[in-house]
Amino acid sequence: MATISKLSNPNPTASLPSSLKPKSSITHKCFLGFQAKPGFNSKLASCSCISFTSNHPSKGPSVVRCSVGDGNGTTVKRTTLHDLYEKEGQSPWYDNLCRRVTDLLPLIENGVSVTSSNPAIFEKAISSSNAYNDQFRTFKMPTNFLSQYGGDGYVSVEVSPRLAEDTEMTIEAAKLLHKAVDRPNVYIKIPATAPCIPSIKDVIAKGIRVNVTLIFSLARYEAVIDACLDGLEASGLSDLSRVTSVTFFFVSRAAVAQAALAYQLYQKKFSGPRWEALVKMGAKKQRLLWASTSVKNPAYPDTLYVDPLIGPDTVSTMPDQALQAFIDHGTVSRTVDAKVSEAEGIYSTLEKLGIDWAYVGSQLDEEGVESFKKSFDSLLDTLQEKANSLKLVSM
């Protein structure tokens, strides 16, 4: 049964940048649904993606419901994010989460459809505020979030990154988490390490939705797509419409040119006789998400990893800096496949200069897993410290 959670911050927009605040005095009401499942093991997973409603047409009910109005029928001002989704088919996700913006209403008004997070972001949110204490005492996990965006509205629960090199344990952990959470809109997040590629196939074959993260190279991305297709074919299901998956392709740690070629690979793999046969059984394309879109070098344009990668059936996850920049001066236009020849030229030139893309991807993969492990362990330590401070039982 869903419960109603009151927001602890009396002014949830106070901490937001001015560009993300509402344009008028608006009264907001947010109702967040939470569901506890007996036997859930917090050591195996972390909640990493929450979605909410927006102003786009809905095909079904939402458990997270937000009403916006000032009593005079004020219309929320459109931004480039609305155009990004409606005109170019790319979903804008906000790569951040903390209680002071839990209702996220200013972001919704600006066109954001989902918030994405990770153990590091969640650990910071828990450790830097007491706003979660009341809910933390109940040990309830947020689930059942349905969005008015057709392809969004999922919660991702992450298999422990310490299993990233163990194929069978990753499969077992994914099955356990899927059973423990037992909700229709949950992704099980699995890293795209070489040992986990067979895990991805097996988990999808069992009819479990999968979120694949830490993809840094074209070769690994192709392996992930093949695992998805193999899993769908091996499932034995007559209706594949509910077995969806997404992939996080990291951009700034690789190259925009490689990401553009990844989109070409995406179009190639999800077309043709093999794919059409799966479509007849209801299969849906594995969505391609651009991750790590913030610019680290101040000399670079602040929308460098957003503007060149706009295209249908994709997602751009943007932290504060990139989101504000795109709202302010981003260009809404299909760009991801506008300069394919140029991307191919850059890619091959770097190869001729001795850059081994597969090796670089492998190195980034190892570094990414290690980073995830540290963040995951830090999150669990923070949760234990919070439990101790609130005199709760051991996690």
Catalytic residues: 189
Q: CB–CB of 357/365 below 8 Å?
A: no
Alpha helices in 182-293 (DSSP H): 197-205, 218-234, 256-269, 272-279
Backbone angles phi, psi at 247, to 5 degrees: -130, 135
CA–CA dist 395, 386 (Å, integer): 10
d(CA 231, CA 260): 26
CA distance 91 to 287: 10
115 phi and psi angles, rounded to 5 deg? -110, 135
199-219: b or e for each residue (b if 16 or more CB lie within 10 Å)? bbbbbbbbbbbbbbbbbbbbe
Relative to beta strand 49-51, strand 186-191 is unpaired
DSSP letter for 47, please: B
- Buried/exposed code over 112-122 (b: 16+ C-beta within 10 A; e: otherwise): bbbbbbbbbbb
